[in-house]
Amino acid sequence: MALSNHQYESIMKGYERVTRANRFISEARREEVCDTIPGFRELTASVSTYSAASVRSMLEGDENALPRLRAQLAEIAASKRQLLTQYGFPSDYLEPIYSCPDCKDTGYISAANGLKEKCHCFRQQEISILYAQSNIQDVISAENFSTLSYEYYQQEDLQRFEAAVKLCKDFIQNFPEDYRNLFFYGTVGTGKSFLSGCIAKELLESGHSVIYFSASGLFDLLARHSFDFRSKEALPGLYEDLYNCDLLIIDDLGTEITNNFVNSQLFSCLNERHLRRKSVLISTNLSLAEIRDRYSDRIFSRITSSFTLCKLTGADIRILKKRKLKSG
């Protein structure tokens, strides 16, 4: 799927706003440092003086002008770092500020072939726009490790949840070098979607692209693009996004109306991503027996052979939280 011109321009204007904001912060820092450290402003200005003198010397045929300038600039840089730390500033306090150091807030990086390609930060903005119905930002704002709690689990249920949390953290730490797929299953309200949100947030913040869908939302979208002639031309782009994003999360598998179309689309998605070694995370309230009975043998085989299975049990946490609020 492709961005419209308006959507593309909106993203690029966002980079411009970020660049202006960071430039304002940098200028404020420079003024702060110059007002605090005696002679720092003059030391900074000497860079221009030395550079201008070096250009004149080079034009006059001085072959040592450039090496001499480099040595002078290195000496000035070292002096500035020393003064910064001496007066209590970090040594990199005046380094350029970028929200994304990889593309320096331009949205593009250099590929191995020398051409420019979209940075991961641009790609995730693109995904967020094209798949706004996934509501991933709403999910991860409430469901992340900072809001994780063990208070609603006891005994074996607690052990299962602790093991699941460890599994999630290992998955994040080793992503994407260690290709793995996760399958969370078990009773309703035991933290499966919550842990999916935790993983999504951590991977997004480390620069990976994540597409998050409820099962019903995903298959509705695929059906719309498959059978609506007005949307059909965007179908190849949709498949490319689903097959190539760093992590695809399918939440609440089993809530969709299951039919031959869904079976075919689900297997194709799982198989293509497996071939490309792209991770998938699935959560469901169905048992393994229900998965086997509801979906094709190929899907059941793919899940049981290619996914790390993680079962969560216990009371419905959402109900427990409501009771706690009422009693409080």
Going residue by residue through the chain, which has 328 residues, state the pLDDT in tens, using 9 for 90 and above: 567 788 899 999 999 999 999 999 999 999 999 999 999 999 999 988 888 888 888 888 888 888 888 899 999 999 999 999 999 999 999 999 999 999 999 999 998 888 899 999 998 888 888 766 566 777 777 778 988 889 888 999 999 999 999 999 999 999 989 999 999 999 999 999 999 999 999 998 888 889 999 999 999 989 988 887 766 777 888 888 899 899 999 999 999 999 999 999 999 999 999 999 999 999 999 999 999 999 999 999 999 999 999 999 998 888 887 777 776 5
Q: Give the residue from 176, 254, 237 showing the smallest Cα distance to 210.
A: 176
Tell me, yes or no, whether 157 lies in a domain: yes
Task: Enumerate residues 6+ apart whose C-beta is below 8 A from 175.
Answer: 203, 208, 246, 247, 279
Give helix 5-36 / helix 120-130 axis angle, nearest 10°.
140
Q: How many C-beta neighbours within 10 Å does residue 207 have?
A: 15
Task: Say whether pTM exceeds 0.75.
Answer: no
Tell me, yes or no, whether 119 lies in a domain: no
How many structural domains is the chain composed of?
1
Tell me, yes or no, whether 110 lies in a domain: no
State how far the Cα of 295 lies from the Cα of 83, in Å rounded to an integer.
67
Task: Enumerate residues 6+ apart whose C-beta is below 8 A from 235.
Answer: 225, 226
3-state SS class at 150: coil
Tell me, yes or no, whether 53 lies in a domain: no
Q: How many C-beta neighbours within 10 Å does residue 323 have?
A: 10
Tell me, yes or no, whether 279 lies in a domain: yes
- Containing structural domain, residue 156: 131-327
Tell me, yes or no, whether 107 lies in a domain: no
Tell me, yes or no, whether 197 lies in a domain: yes
State how far the Cα of 287 lies from the Cα of 58, in Å rounded to an integer.
77
CATH code where residue 148 lies: 3.40.50.300
Provide the β-strand partners of residue 311.
185
Question: Which structure tokens are listed for 95?
Answer: 């380094």
Tell me, yes or no, whether 201 lies in a domain: yes
Q: How many residues does the chain have?
A: 328
- Is residue 205 within 8 A of residue 303, CB to CB? The reply is no
Query: C-alpha angle with apex 152: 146 to 155, nearest 5 degrees?
Result: 120
